[in-house]
């Protein structure tokens, strides 16, 4: 499978020489040597029963002839007799470990595969205590000891005893077929599961498929070709699809490609170029929801291990479908072993990936690491409820941030499974707020979009065009401000509850041409209690208001203050006037001409909501800007 390079421990078919050369010489009587030669002859001609009989004759007279147990182990391997393999290796490891330290290593592997972790740990320790650190299995044995400790700790944990019967991995039977199915990607824009499929017949055909859970149907994607395609990812708005392929004119054995939805069609897949792709294997891409960066896996020279995870930035999109990418950045989470199948959380703060280089349940486990620019925190294992002793690869989250799809070889074939995390372990999800920009005069002016996160007190700018997409973190409340020349300030309240399952909100931005006495409410300007002193975070919104006034430098506005009905009429009138004046003075200090501005307090005289509730009163405590007309006097602002 080209899109999943899995590196396994390999035990040669005949390792008699390996066993013997690692140990010490052994003196044996001539008769035993003769019988052993005959046994070896029968073994090489695949007459295993006859070989076994000669070996048993040797042991009746000379049970210390350890080479006999090596050959017995080989016979047991051919017969796939695990019990006999263990018995043969134990005879060597327990009698004279110096003769063949590798016997302890292979015995430990058998115990580990059989879920006998304490026994496995014992023999891994025996192995590393009797070989040099230069031994090719030394580092792997050290890691396996850590894996044993991790598993034993998990199985003895309170969490395991409490939740083991609740949190279960489920196979996705509707996709199960006579194929390998792997590298899933859940497309929240269409609520479909994309994945890679390969025929079990051994053919090299590898294609992209889509499963629709609504009608339980699946079909091939339009990006497939006579070549290999796999490991798909897409931006949150569904406009850009990234995948790997080895199609003609690729730079290496597998390259990264992109196709974009433009003018009603998918563009011809484009190679990301030799700045990203190498002469080696490049695959398993995950793209940021906003299409500004991506992560991928490569075995190119200069990494830390056989397969490593890299990050690239998309510096710009030419014509909306051709990305210009930065040089790949090698991540600090990579080990001398293998890191695979990255998946970026929709809020871009967490990178999920698979690794066989950190302590875990064995094979490739899922880990997560928190992102800080291009540096990542120490990886955390996702735990034994989802990870197994086999390989887990390619995780993707559904809309609720809890349920995941992933690929696993736990049932021999690599196939797709699902799992639901505890609520406290859920992954943040992103809501795609999208739509069109429409105006009252049917024109399509240039706009500046600003998103204000009310809880984080942060403001982000995003330049958009006629059709726009914004990516918002679920669980937060936002205000959307759209600044346009000649149009009223557009303000929209966006409240995203944490339990929201719909990852798409479609709503057009309706821009209204400025008309006299039109007003815009700015609810994010806040004051100290019973005071006209501004709260510090209000400066973000006031600076945005300054920007709007500079864009519309020929218009005049009134700053209007309003209160709720708590308190006397005189008190509220004075408070609203003082607050309006504070905003007025802030704008003037930022360079806005006095000739363009007035201020006025209206107290509690113009409520827009019910004053009988706190929520209603909060709405009534507001600031507005009212359009008064054009400004004819020549002035920069």
Residue 564 binned pLDDT confidence (cut-offs 50, 70, 90): very high
- pLDDT tens for 91-103 read 999 999 999 999 9
Pair (279, 392) in one structural domain: yes
Which residues, 6 or more positions from 27, have their beta carbon under 8 angstroms from its beta carbon?
Answer: none
Pair (533, 508) in one structural domain: no
Residue 5 binned pLDDT confidence (cut-offs 50, 70, 90): low
**Which domain does 105 fall in, by range?**
16-26+66-156
pLDDT of residue 466: 66
Which is it for the CA torsion 134, 136, 141, 146, positive or negative?
positive
pLDDT of residue 480: 93
Question: Does any domain span residue 38?
Answer: no
Pair (260, 353) in one structural domain: yes
Q: Work out the average pLDDT over 100-124.
A: 95
Residue after which a domain boundary falls, among 513, 536, 566: 513
- pLDDT tens for 527-551 read 998 899 999 999 999 999 999 999 9
Q: Indicate which CATH number applies to the domain containing 450.
A: 2.60.40.2190
Q: Which helix (H) or strand (E) holds 558?
A: strand 555-561
pLDDT of residue 2: 67
Q: Strands (DSSP E) along 200-307, which ranges?
A: 206-212, 217-220, 229-234, 240-245, 255-262, 265-266, 270-271, 282-287, 293-298
Question: Does any domain span residue 140?
Answer: yes
CA 370, CA 329: separation in Å to the nearest integer? 16
pLDDT of 125 above 80: yes
Residue 204 binned pLDDT confidence (cut-offs 50, 70, 90): low
Question: Does any domain span residue 152?
Answer: yes
pLDDT of residue 283: 96
- The larger pLDDT score, comparing residue 472 to residue 508, is at 508
pLDDT of 9 above 60: no
pLDDT of residue 635: 59
Q: Work out the average pLDDT over 209-224.
A: 87
Question: Does any domain span residue 505?
Answer: yes
Mean pLDDT score across all residues of the chain: 88
Query: Would you state the torsion angle of the CA atoms of residues 498, 499, 503, 504, taken in this order, to the nearest 10 degrees?
Result: -90
Pair (248, 386) in one structural domain: yes
Residue after which a domain boundary falls, among 513, 530, 557: 513
Pair (217, 128) in one structural domain: no
- pLDDT tens for 477-498 read 899 999 999 999 999 988 886 5
As a three-state string, the secondary structure of 72-84 is HHHHHHHCCCHHH
Residue 504 binned pLDDT confidence (cut-offs 50, 70, 90): confident
Q: Work out the average pLDDT over 368-391.
A: 93
Pair (325, 258) in one structural domain: yes
Residue 8 binned pLDDT confidence (cut-offs 50, 70, 90): very low
Mutual orientation of helices 48-61 and 30-44 as an angle, nearest 10°?
Answer: 160
Pair (471, 420) in one structural domain: no
Pair (330, 441) in one structural domain: no
Pair (228, 96) in one structural domain: no
pLDDT of residue 18: 46
Question: Does any domain span residue 632?
Answer: yes
Question: Does any domain span residue 39?
Answer: no
DSSP helix/strand/coil, 271: strand
Q: Backbone dihedral region of 100: left (phi > 0), alpha (psi from -120 to 50 degrees) or beta? A: beta
Strand order in the sheet with 413-420: 170-171, 413-420, 403-411, 392-397
CA 14, CA 90: separation in Å to the nearest integer? 18
pLDDT of 28 above 50: yes
Q: Work out the average pLDDT over 363-369.
A: 96
pLDDT of residue 255: 97
Q: Work out the average pLDDT over 373-395.
A: 94
Residue 407: other Cβ atoms inside 10 A: 26
Q: What is the DSSP string of 299-325?
A: --TTSSSSBEEEEEEEEEEETTTEEEE
Question: Does any domain span residue 229?
Answer: yes
Pair (258, 333) in one structural domain: yes
Report the number of distinct structural domains present in the chain: 4
pLDDT of 17 above 50: no
Instruction: Measure Cα distances from 227 to 202, 206, 207, 230 in Å.
Output: 15, 8, 8, 10
- pLDDT tens for 417-476 read 999 998 777 787 777 788 888 888 877 778 888 989 888 888 888 766 667 878 787 778
Residue after which a domain boundary falls, among 370, 399, 425: 425
DSSP helix/strand/coil, 93: helix
- pLDDT tens for 292-345 read 999 999 999 999 989 999 999 999 999 888 999 999 999 999 999 999 999 998
Q: Work out the average pLDDT over 15-22.
A: 46
pLDDT of residue 391: 95
Q: Work out the average pLDDT over 218-236.
A: 91
Pair (536, 604) in one structural domain: yes
Of the listed ranges 181-195, 199-213, 586-600, the least confidently predicted one is 199-213
- The larger pLDDT score, comparing residue 470 to residue 89, is at 89
Pair (366, 228) in one structural domain: yes
- pLDDT tens for 582-611 read 999 999 999 999 999 999 999 999 999 999
Question: Does any domain span residue 375?
Answer: yes
- The larger pLDDT score, comparing residue 460 to residue 612, is at 612
pLDDT of 398 above 90: no
């Amino acid at each position: 499978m080209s899109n999943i390079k899995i590196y396994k421990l390999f035990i040669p078919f005949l390792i008699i020489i390996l066993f013997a050369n690692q140990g010490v010489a052994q003196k044996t009587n001539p008769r035993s040597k003769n019988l052993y030669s005959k046994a070896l002859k029968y073994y090489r001609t695949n007459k295993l029963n006859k070989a076994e009989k000669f070996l048993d004759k040797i042991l009746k007279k000379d049970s210390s002839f350890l080479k006999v147990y090596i050959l017995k182990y080989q016979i047991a391997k051919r017969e796939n007799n695990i019990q006999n393999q263990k018995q043969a290796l134990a005879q060597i490891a327990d009698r004279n470990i110096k003769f063949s330290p590798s016997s302890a290593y292979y015995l430990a592997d058998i115990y580990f595969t059989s879920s006998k972790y304490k026994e496995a740990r014992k023999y891994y320790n025996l192995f590393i205590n009797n070989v040099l650190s230069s031994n090719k299995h030394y580092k792997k044995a050290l890691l396996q000891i850590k894996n044993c400790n991790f598993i034993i700790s998990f199985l003895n944990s309170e969490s395991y005893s409490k939740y083991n019967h609740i949190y279960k991995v489920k196979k996705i039977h509707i996709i199960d077929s006579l194929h390998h199915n792997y590298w899933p990607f859940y497309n929240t824009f269409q609520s479909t599961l994309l994945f890679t499929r390969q025929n079990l017949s051994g053919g090299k055909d590898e294609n992209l498929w889509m499963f629709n859970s609504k009608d339980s149907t699946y079909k091939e994607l339009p990006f497939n070709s006579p070549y290999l395609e796999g490991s798909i990812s897409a931006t949150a708005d569904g406009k850009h699809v990234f995948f790997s392929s080895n199609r003609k004119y690729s730079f290496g054995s597998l390259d990264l490609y992109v196709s974009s939805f433009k003018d009603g069609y998918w563009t011809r897949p484009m190679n990301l170029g030799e700045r990203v792709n190498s002469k080696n294997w490049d695959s398993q891409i995950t793209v940021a929801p906003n299409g500004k960066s991506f992560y991928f896996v490569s075995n190119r020279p200069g990494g830390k291990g056989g397969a490593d995870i890299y990050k690239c930035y998309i510096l710009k999109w030419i014509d909306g479908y051709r990305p210009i990418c930065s040089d790949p950045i090698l991540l600090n989470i990579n080990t001398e072993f293998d890191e695979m199948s990255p998946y970026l959380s929709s809020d871009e703060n967490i990178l999920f990936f698979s690794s066989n280089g950190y302590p875990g349940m064995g094979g490739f486990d899922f880990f997560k690491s928190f992102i800080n620019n291009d540096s990542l925190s120490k990886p955390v294992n996702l735990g034994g409820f989802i990870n197994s002793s086999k390989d887990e690869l390619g995780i993707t989250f559904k809309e609720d941030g809890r349920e995941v799809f992933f690929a696993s070889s736990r049932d021999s074939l690599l196939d797709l499974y699902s799992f639901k995390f505890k609520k406290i372990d859920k992954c943040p999800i992103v809501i795609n707020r999208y739509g069109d920009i429409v105006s009252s005069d049917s024109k399509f002016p240039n706009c500046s979009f600003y998103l204000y996160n009310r809880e984080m007190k942060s403001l982000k700018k995003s330049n958009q065009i006629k059709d726009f997409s914004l990516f918002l973190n679920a669980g937060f409340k936002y205000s959307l401000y759209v600044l346009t020349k000649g149009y009223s300030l557009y303000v929209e309240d966006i409240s995203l509850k944490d339990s929201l399952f719909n990852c798409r909100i479609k709503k057009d931005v309706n821009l209204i041409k400025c008309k006299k006495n039109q007003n815009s409410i700015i609810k994010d300007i806040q004051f100290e209690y019973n005071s006209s002193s501004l709260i510090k975070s209000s400066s973000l919104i006031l600076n945005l208001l300054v920007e709007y006034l500079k864009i519309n430098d020929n218009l005049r506005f009134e700053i209007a203050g309003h209160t709720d009905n708590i308190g006397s009429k005189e008190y509220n009138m004075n408070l609203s006037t003082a607050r309006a004046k504070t905003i007025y003075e802030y704008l003037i200090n930022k360079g806005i001409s006095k000739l363009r501005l007035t201020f006025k307090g209206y107290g509690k005289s113009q409520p827009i909501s019910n004053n009988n509730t706190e929520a209603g009163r909060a709405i009534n405590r507001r600031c507005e800007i009212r359009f008064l007309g054009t400004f004819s006097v020549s002035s920069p602002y």
